[in-house]
Amino acid sequence: MALTLPNDVLLMVGEQLDDHADRRQLIFVSRHFHDLFLSLVYRTARLNHWRDIYSFLHATTKRLPLARAVRELDLSGWRAEHISDEERAALKCSDALRDRVEVSSHSHDETSQWEEDLGRGRGDAWIALMLPLLTQLRQLHLAYSAHTPCLHRTLQRAINGERPFQTQPAFQHLCKVSLHRREELNHPAPPENAGFGSHQPPSALLLPFFRLPSMRTIVANSVVDPTSDPVESNPHTDEVEQSAFGVSSITEIDLRASNGNQGMEALTASCADLKSFKYQHSDSHVASHGYQPAAFYRSLTRSKETLHTLWLDHYGDHYPFTAAGLNQTHDEWFGSLADFIALREVRIRLPNLLDIRYQTEPTVPLLNCLPQSLETLYIEGCEERYLGMLVSQLQTVVKNHRTRFPHLQRLDIEGSFQNATSDESGDTSAPASEPSHNTIKPKIMQAAETLHVDCVSSGLELHVHDRVFSQHMHS
């Protein structure tokens, strides 16, 4: 006798398949499996070019429940693809495409612009056309370029409840967004008369997400501080930036290869319950005036009672010269962390943790710079000349951890500690593919030995890392 399992049991089995390709195979087993598992296949949509979205639109406009089944949309692998004259002609005759454009457009001129952008294969137009269909979306991973007028306009209309969002609130369930800025996607080049949004600052796509009700986590790269974007005043941009202030539900911010001359205050100020803030600095941006940790201290002050994870400048890029001239601010002291009463994990560069700009000993001892709630302290960028001082400061912390830092579990020290091996030609550079051939200098380990003994006796972990090796492992 054949064993027939209930549909809900079959769905539970299907949900255990993590691989999208495996889930897709289920719909080819039988008609019953096709109807049962099709929505499961659409739960995660990975679309990499305009053809994927075109197929997606054709499928979902005929069966709207498939669009509502999407929980995660992954566009991080997006690539620009050429559209031939034959394909462009076929797109003009597509009823599904025409219907979506009519629903999204507010004017005849805008309809014409949509059709032109879609026909030229512009990714932001294709993506913006599809987003209003995904009413149950939870996660969005988006690759974008500098010129994104359609996406920017669509997000603004979603926030304002304008067409095509006038009957269905937009992105009410969206809780995680990751934005990947990639300049090679800015192809083909935008026309000179691209109109509204043709010169958006890098933060333009970021700010609207801070106004969505279910948002919790946002990850982005190449973000220039919204309060210091070097663009002319734009009423549309100013409206979004001003409205970003207030109460946001976002609790985690992760900014990579970014530049926050004002401490990203326009973002942090809107978060009423910020729990995690990670920032990686980069001087590669035109607006860069060098890393300014004190600005982040000011912007994070209002989160002293909620912040439990703080990463500042994890493997950041610092140039000798920036737009402001000689870079003299990147070793500035962040300020004492003692008042951040919920802080558990800290990852920070040594010159930002302790004020040692003009002397070998810090102006404020490390013991007085750390919060009682601390569990993990990872100190980056320790120069060899400061290692003895740092070891002494950490020993004091370890010896007082039971009374001052009862939750402390782990200490990490990272710096250029590599004992590089030389080849026959005298080259001491280590191949990135062979990090195991290099070891930390014996004198570094000897300097840290006393701290290691104290940590062992106190039940704490101590890890010493070489910067080159750690970067290799991180990448």
**255 contact partners, CB below 8 Å, separation of at least 6:** 219, 220, 221, 223, 264, 278, 279, 280
Please choose, from the candidates 420, 412, 416, the residue with its C-alpha nearest in 3D space to the C-alpha of residue 390: 412
Q: Residue 172's pLDDT is what?
A: 93
Residue 241 has pLDDT above 50, yes or no: no
Q: In angstroms, rounded to a whole number, what is the distance separating the alpha carbons of residues 383 and 369?
A: 20
Spatial contact of 83 and 119, defined as CB atoms under 8 Å apart: yes
Distances (CA, A) of 452 to 7, 181, 314, 391: 58, 42, 24, 9
Nearest-5° Cα angle at 196, 190 to 201? 80
Torsion of CA 428, 431, 435, 438, to 10 degrees: -10
Band of pLDDT at residue 474, cut at 50, 70 and 90: very low
Q: Residue 235's pLDDT is what?
A: 44
* Averaged pLDDT for residues 426-454: 72
Residue 141: other Cβ atoms inside 10 A: 18
Q: Residue 256's pLDDT is what?
A: 94
Over the stretch 183-212, which tens digit does the pLDDT of each residue have?
A: 777 555 455 444 444 445 657 789 999 999
* Averaged pLDDT for residues 238-253: 67
What is the H or E stretch that residue 440 is in?
strand 439-440
**28 contact partners, CB below 8 Å, separation of at least 6:** 34
pTM: 0.85
Going across the sheet that includes 44-46, the strands are 44-46, 72-75, 139-144, 176-181, 217-221, 252-258, 276-281, 309-312, 345-349, 376-382, 410-415, 461-466
Over the stretch 120-174, which tens digit does the pLDDT of each residue have?
A: 989 999 999 999 999 999 999 999 887 888 999 999 999 999 999 988 778 999 9
Residue 222 has pLDDT above 80, yes or no: yes
Torsion of CA 446, 452, 457, 458, to 10 degrees: 150
Pairing assessment for the beta strands 325-326 and 321-322 based on DSSP bridges: antiparallel
Q: Residue 305's pLDDT is what?
A: 96
Distances (CA, A) of 244 to 148, 239, 337: 19, 9, 27
Residue 299 has pLDDT above 90, yes or no: yes
Residue 253: other Cβ atoms inside 10 A: 23
Q: Where are the domains of the chain?
A: 47-173
Express as a percent the part of the chain with pLDDT over 90.
Answer: 55
Band of pLDDT at residue 22, cut at 50, 70 and 90: low
Question: What six digits make up the tokens of 467?
Answer: 């910067």
| Cβ neighbourhood burial of 235 (10 Å; 0-12, 13-18, 19+) | exposed
Q: Residue 431's pLDDT is what?
A: 45
What are residue 59's phi and psi, to 5 degrees?
-70, -45
Distances (CA, A) of 271 to 211, 218, 245, 246: 10, 12, 9, 8
**275 contact partners, CB below 8 Å, separation of at least 6:** 251, 252, 306, 307, 308, 309, 342
Over the stretch 256-293, which tens digit does the pLDDT of each residue have?
A: 999 988 899 999 999 999 999 999 998 888 777 788 89
Output 467 or 287, whichever has higher pLDDT: 467
Spatial contact of 220 and 181, defined as CB atoms under 8 Å apart: yes
Q: In angstroms, rounded to a whole number, what is the distance separating the alpha carbons of residues 7 and 396?
A: 62
Spatial contact of 293 and 334, defined as CB atoms under 8 Å apart: yes
Pairing assessment for the beta strands 410-415 and 309-312 based on DSSP bridges: unpaired
